[in-house]
Amino acid sequence: MKSKKLAWVPGLIVTVIGLMAANTALAAEKNEQGVRQAVAQFYTALNAMFTGELGPIKEVWSHANDVTYMGPGGGFEVGWDQVLATWETQAAKKLGGKVEPADIRITVGQDLAIVSDIEKGENTNADGKVEKVSIRATNLFRKEGGKWKMIGHHTDLLPYLAK
């Protein structure tokens, strides 16, 4: 009699495990969607920066001391103050043009994400000549306060920007 009363327990266990797995899958999907949105916001901010507008860049980046930037002009900046100074220098150049991500690959965890892509488009160099852009990029994001914030940006060098 006792075994018949507990016959429902394995079914309950299977149901609970199934619900937990479904919840984990939904959370992972939500995280990836959030990262994709953060990537789109970064490239919108990057293109605004090409016109001299820095507000969107400030919004998408974490302002923490551990952020890093290794951009197309060279250098290795660590901490928000150094990273912001580099963005300010680039914004002052008003390179114009537009760059978009292609071949995006996303690896997302609970609080960290890695995004690899090819940045394609064009900018204007210091002599006013339009230059094609096609460089590899790795972007790192961390979830802060429920939002995905950029904590690292690393690209190939562009000869017309390299120091």
How many DSSP H helices and E strands does the chain contain? Answer: 4, 6
For 2-155, the fitting CATH number among 3.40.718.10, 3.10.450.50, 3.60.21.10, 3.30.2270.10 is 3.10.450.50
Residues with Cβ within 8 Å of residue 81, at least 6 apart in sequence: none
In the chain, where the domains are located: 2-155
pLDDT tens-digit profile, the chain (163 residues): 555 666 666 666 766 565 555 555 555 678 899 999 999 999 999 999 999 999 999 999 999 999 999 999 999 999 999 999 999 999 999 989 999 999 999 999 999 999 999 999 999 887 889 999 999 999 999 999 999 999 999 999 998 887 6
The DSSP 8-state label assigned to residue 161 in this structure reads T
pTM of the full predicted structure?
0.82
